[in-house]
Structure 1
Amino acid sequence: MEVMTWTYLMVGVTFAIYIGIAIWSRAGSTSEYYVAGGGVSPLANGMATAADWMSAASFISMAGIISFAGYDGSVYLMGWTGGYVLLALLLAPYLRKFGKFTVPDFVGDRYYSSTARLVAVVCAIFVSFTYVAGQMRGVGIVFSRFLEVDINTGVIIGMAIVFFYAVLGGMKGITYTQVAQYCVLIFAYMVPAIFISLLMTGNPIPQLGFGSQTADGTYLLDKLDGLVTQLGFGAYTEGTKPMIDVFCITLALMVGTAGLPHVIVRFFTVPRVRDARISAGWALIFIAILYTTAPAIAAFARVNLIDSVSEKAYAEAPSWVKSWEKTGLIKWEDKNADGNMQYVANKDANELTIDRDIMVLANPEIAKLPNWVVALVAAGGLAAALSTAAGLLLVISTSISHDLLKKTLMPGITEKQELLFARIGAAAAVCIAGYLGIHPPGFVAQVVAFAFGLAAASFFPVIIMGIFSRRMNKEGAIAGMVLGLTVTAGYIIYFKFMHPELNTPDHWFLGVSPEGFGTVGMVLNFVIATAVASVTKAPPAAVQRLVAEIRVPRGAGAASAH
């Protein structure tokens, strides 16, 4: 069958499964809508967490970045992997024991302040919308190529699917849908990786193939270094970023991970604190399968790409080049009018513009794998993007219905009304997310990196200090969140949107790029929060006792909306 037929079949079947699960597991109460009733098993929650965690950035864009940036791209791999470990060890069990199922709820109660809760709501919405823009863009990219519609139409189709199971099922529907989505995305990621590793190195394990010899007896990375340097690019295995920037980006991604509200809330869906720890362990195993494979896929894709297009006549270009050209994600301009595709580092001489977000999706086609594998990757990419988008949209809707309305503006509303407002909030969030997907502020992983930076600068310090510092008070927390979010967002907006021509190491503060500035924002948050707390009144004795009790390893406590 043709790729189009296979794609319609696989995408159609997987979407039918997702919708069927959403109908079967639709939420009937706020507890089910917010935390799936707290009855999810650790294994299922581990899978759902992995799917929630591995977004379009992980599935589609991370290997693409590594493929083009080489060593420099490893910051995403290190930051996101290390960040999950940080989350599992430092935050998840303690927040689960606290018993509140949203981050603004924790902030509001821990810092005994409606103002602190409101600031946390703004941070949650700001971070989540920045993050979800990348997911919707990923959905559009997949649809644009494999269903031959434009990216905007693809985003709208993705909006419709997410709307159905996020608005109807809430966390209960999302959780069990994400279990199915994890199975789809990991199978879709590993099958082509195993195929290509076998074809290029004779080794069926991609992680080992990454360090193996190719058919001509050359080690894969040595061959790749030779290919890219011949074309004028920097060596694949050598970095070009300043060390301070590498450190800041990696740390921003790590602590931003630990502060992401859509991942934290997953640990409230299991019955006990012990189950939260077990599900965190399962999730780490499930995440590691993809993350340890990504560098191999990146290297395989770059070698095959160069072999496929370099110095080839456009008239004889592989079919995948012309297929992706239709989406606008590959562009060829015959600058010297010789009919050949010049792919070189020199911007004036280079004739091929290749969007890095296509590398994983185009990889099976570049490697000439069967059509069903190509379609499988499309289904996997959609699963990755939709699973994370749903989790983020739930954070936005619960921040509005529970934290803003129920806890702040309209405390007298009934549970039924709260559930209605949650669904209305999710519906509105889907529409805004779709708009951001159509008009994104960067490529998928870059947009997601901004979200992590914003989470690092706003949420991480206030959560860490809320758990481990009895002295941290509401004045310090509010000042830290406001300053961290404002400075980081302002820095990103200035260099990325207001003055992109100045976005160079020479103009960055201490050589730190916008992607890494979340680390600076985090440090400012800690400093200002500590300074303000030291000159203002200490928290009430009851709050200080609560902080001590959170860290005592006894009791479980059910997640509570109250």
Structure 2
Amino acid sequence: MDQTTINFIFVGASFALYFAIAVWARAGSTSEFYAAGRGVNPVVNGMATAADWMSAASFISMAGLIAFVGYNNSSFLMGWTGGYVLMAMLLAPYLRKFGKYTVPEFVGDRYYSQTARIVAVICLIVISTTYVIGQMTGAGVAFSRFLEVDNTTGLIIASLVVAFYAVMGGMKGITYTQVAQYIVLIIAYTIPAIFISLQLTGNPIPGLGLFSSMAPGNAGGVEAGVPLLATLNELLDDLGFNEYTTGSSPLNMALFTLSLMIGTAGLPHVIIRFFTVPRVADARWSAGWALVFIALLYLTAPAVGAMARLNIITTMWPEGVESEAIAQEDLPDWFQTWEVTGLLGVEDLNGDGRIQYYNDASPEGQAFAEANGLEGNELVTFNRDILVLANPEIAQLPGWVIGLIAAGGLAAALSTAAGLLLAISSAISHDLIKSVINPGISEKGELLAARLSMIVAIILATLLALNPPGFAAQTVALAFGLAAASLFPTLMMGIFYKRMNSAGAIAGMLAGLISTLLYLFLFLGWFFIPGTATLDSSQYLFGIPPASFGPVGALLNFVVAYLVSNATDEPPQEIQDLVESVRIPRGAGGAVDH
């Protein structure tokens, strides 16, 4: 059986499962569409939250960025995991106790202001739209390879699939679909990693294999007995790349990690998952179970990245970098299959019939090229989002493993895309149409508005994903910065600072959102379109890159909100009493829990 047929079997079977669940669990009321009827078991919700959380950025893109950058991109692991702990401890239980459907609804009621609610909706749409671009980008990459079509066609197919089960099922359908998607993606991620760890180090646990010595007769063909990371560092150094375990600016790394952490705690599509459980105590248990499920992938990702980078180098230099690179006709089959997507490309620049891979932008790489008569890096295109999906092919694993990871990559991208689209549609239908524009709308009309707004959001995200501002994880990181700067401070002060009033919340959200957007637009381009930026990296404020600006925006939000709030009237007494009640963790039945 050829590989394409195997891919179709695995992907088709998983999609059939998702569609069946969507039909079985389709939402029949607004309560089911927004919060799954508040009847989801904590373990089930933990698994669904993990799938919602482990997006295309985690599954497809994160290991690829770690593979090519190394230690510096461990920020993704630390920031995302630490931020989830922050959200689980400081936000989720209290927001569940407040008993609303959406984040803007909490903001509107806590700050007794329709204006605050509208500003929160704007923040949510900006955050979620940026985030969903990354998910659709990852889904397009996966579809393009495994259906052997170009990237644009893959992206359109992905949007049609997610439209079907997200629009039909709402939160109820998405929840149970995400449980199935988690099972698919975690199996798909860990099985190839186990195979590759065994091939290279003989250790079946990838996280331990990362720190093990190379096994005799390893798949990379390098010297046995040498630690894997030391082997990788030596190869990278020979080719003019930075060592894998070397870091750069501590300030930028700390700011980027902090941006991911507090951005995580402000993500609306993850927060609303905690509105689906029956009790406040269940929200805490959901968070604990989600961390367990998330850890299974996050403890494996560093090993996947390092081992994949080693395999790429030994593919290009099969006899070691002191010898000739691989002949063009001997390039493995996986090169040809990925070249079809336009995400991988090689070019014989010096006409020697061989393909060399090295860093022609560094002095060390240029010296290496001069000593060997090379004229440039000939692996001219390698989209880092393909690495995890191509990893089983690079390691020459069985066809069924390749089909399995195809299904897993698509599950990761589509599960988070569905959650984001639900957050957007809920904000538009429930917080704008129902609460502001047409309070008398029927439940049936509100449900129709939610589904129509989700369709519009899917179309917009698909169009924007045709020209994303970076790799999937890089695009997602921008969304985290926006969440950190806009919603996180407002939610934190809404729970822990009774004196915070509507004027302060509105001013803070606008200050954080606008300052961060302006910084992104100045250095990345308007609407993140490359080539439209007005400033370059040499003009960064204190050397802070755009993806690390979130904490600065958050600080502006906190300061502006505090100053404005204390310069204006304090909130009504009933609001202060409500905040006090919500903050006391007595479980279900307190405050306005319903």
TM-score using structure 2 length: 0.93
Show the counterpart of 1:97: 97
8 Å CA contact 1:35–1:171 kept in 2: the answer is yes
Equivalent position of 1:351 in the other structure: 378
Q: Is the 8 A contact 2:582 2:590 kept in 1?
A: no
Shift of 1:472: 0.6
Aligned to 1:199: 199
Cα-to-partner distance string for 1:268-304 (whole Å, 9 max, x where unaligned):
1110001111111000000000001000000110000
CA drift at 1:429: 1.1
Could you tell me how far apart the structure 1 residues matched to 2:341 and 2:447 are? 40
User: How far apart, in 1, do the equivalents of 2:532 and 2:431 lie?
Assistant: 36
Which residue of structure 2 aligns with residue 341 of structure 1?
355
**Is 1:372 matched up with 2:404?**
no
Q: Does residue 578 of structure 2 align to residue 546 of structure 1? A: yes
- Opposite residue 297 of structure 2, the aligned amino acid is L
The structure 1 residue matched to 2:446, chosen from 418, 421, 434, is: 418
CA contact (8 A) 2:523 2:533 kept: yes
Contact 2:98/2:582 (8 A) holds in 1: yes
Deviation at 1:375, TM superposition (A): 1.0
- SS of residue matched to 2:345: strand
1:236 aligned residue: 244
Greater displacement, 486-495 / 277-286: 486-495
SS in 2 for 1:203: coil
**For residue 120 of structure 2, what is the amino acid of its counterpart?**
A
Note if 1:361 corresponds to 2:393. no
Secondary structure at 2:451 match in 1: helix
Following superposition, the deviation at residue 349 of structure 1 comes to 1.7
Letter in 2 for 1:387: S
Instruction: Tell me the residue number matched to 1:211.
Output: 211
- State the alpha-carbon separation in 1 of the partners of residues 591 and 4 from structure 2: 45
Which residue number in structure 1 is paired with residue 221 of structure 2?
A: none
Which position in structure 2 is the counterpart of 1:397? 425
CA contact (8 A) 1:38 1:559 kept: no
**What is the 5 A alignment of 1:505-520?**
506-520=538-552
2-structure distance, mates of 1:558, 1:51: 30
Q: 1:105 to 1:197 in 2, by over 3 A?
A: same
Out of 510, 521, 526, the position equivalent to 1:493 is 521
Structure 2 residue 276 is the aligned partner of structure 1 residue 269 = yes
Alignment partners' CA distance in 1, 2:570 and 2:592: 26
Q: 2:302 aligns with which of 276, 281, 295?
A: 295
Partner of 1:118: 118
Q: What is the match of residue 534 of structure 1? A: 566
Tell me which residue corresponds to 1:159. Answer: 159
| CA-atom RMSD in angstroms | 1.4
Q: Which residue of 2 aligns with 1:314?
A: 328
Cα deviation, residue 440, structure 1: 1.5
Q: Judge conservation of contact 2:21–2:173 (CA < 8 Å) in 1.
A: yes
Q: Tell me if the contact between 1:21 and 1:176 (Cα under 8 Å) persists in the aligned partners.
A: yes
| Cα drift, residue 437 of structure 1 | 2.0
Mark the runs of 5 or more structure 1 residues left unpaired by the alignment. none
Q: Is the 8 A contact 2:98 2:593 kept in 1?
A: no
Read off the aligned partner of 2:30 and give its amino acid letter.
Answer: T
Following the alignment from structure 1 to structure 2, what is the Cα–Cα distance between the partners of residues 557 and 493? 46
Equivalent residue for 1:223? 231
Residues 270, 307 of structure 1: CA spacing in aligned structure 2 closer, same or farther, 3 A cutoff? same
Give, in whole Å, the separation in 2 of the partners of 1:152 and 1:301. Answer: 26
Moved more, 408-417 or 59-68: 408-417
Residue 561 (structure 1) shift: 11
Quote the Cα distance in structure 2 between the aligned partners of 1:289 and 1:499. 40
Give aligned-pair identity as a percent: 61
Indicate if the aligned counterparts of 1:331 and 1:354 stay in contact, CA closer than 8 A. yes
Q: Is the 8 A contact 1:304 1:367 kept in 2?
A: yes
Instruction: Confirm or deny: 8 A CA contact 2:522 2:534 kept in the other structure.
Output: no
Specify whether residues 154 and 527 from structure 1 end up closer, same or farther in structure 2 by C-alpha distance, changes over 3 A only: same
1:59 aligns with 2:36: no
Match of 2:261 in 1: 254
SS in structure 1 at match of 2:116: helix
Contact kept in structure 1, 2:522 and 2:535, CA below 8 Å: no
**Cα deviation 1:427-466 (Å, max 9, x = unaligned):** 1111111112222221101100000000000000000000
CA spacing shift, 1:559–1:262, aligned 2, 3 Å? farther
Deviation at 1:152, TM superposition (A): 1.1
Q: Offset of 1:75 from its aligned partner?
A: 0.7
Instruction: List per-residue Cα deviations over 1:49-95 (Å, max 9, x = no partner).
Output: 00000000000000000000001111111100101101101100000
Cα distance in 2 for residues equivalent to 1:507 and 1:235: 27
Q: Distance in 1 between matches of 2:535 and 2:358?
A: 25
Aligned length: 560
Tell whether the 8 Å contact from 2:98 to 2:592 is kept in structure 1 after alignment: no
Deviations 1:96-151 (A, max 9, x none): 00111200000000000000000000010111010001111111101111110111
Whole-Å separation in 2 of the counterparts to 1:271 and 1:419: 22
